[in-house]
Amino acid sequence: MQAEMVAIVGFHQDEVGDWVADFSCGHRQHMRHNPPLTDRPWVLTETGRGEFIGRLLVCKQCQDEREANTNMTTDSIDYA
């Protein structure tokens, strides 16, 4: 199954000040700059975040939901 790409449509900060990307599908994902684990210095500036608006990414939540729905559908089929 091919992953569906969604666009980053905006950013906001969570309750502790970490940046979160808002996706066109309605889901969100943290975009942390936490070297050496994650190296995203672009998220620290408005200009950097602006350059990522419209960037296409795979939404892990959409992918997980699609896989769960596929598994439910195939689990309910009677192959007898």
2-30 pLDDT per residue, tens: 678 999 999 999 999 999 999 999 999 99
Tell me the whole-structure pTM to 2 decimals: 0.78
Q: Which residues contact 9 (CB under 8 A, 6 or more apart)?
A: 22, 23, 24, 53, 54
Domain-wise residue ranges, the chain: 5-75
44 φ, ψ (degrees, to nearest 5): -80, -15
CB atoms within 10 A of CB 23: 21
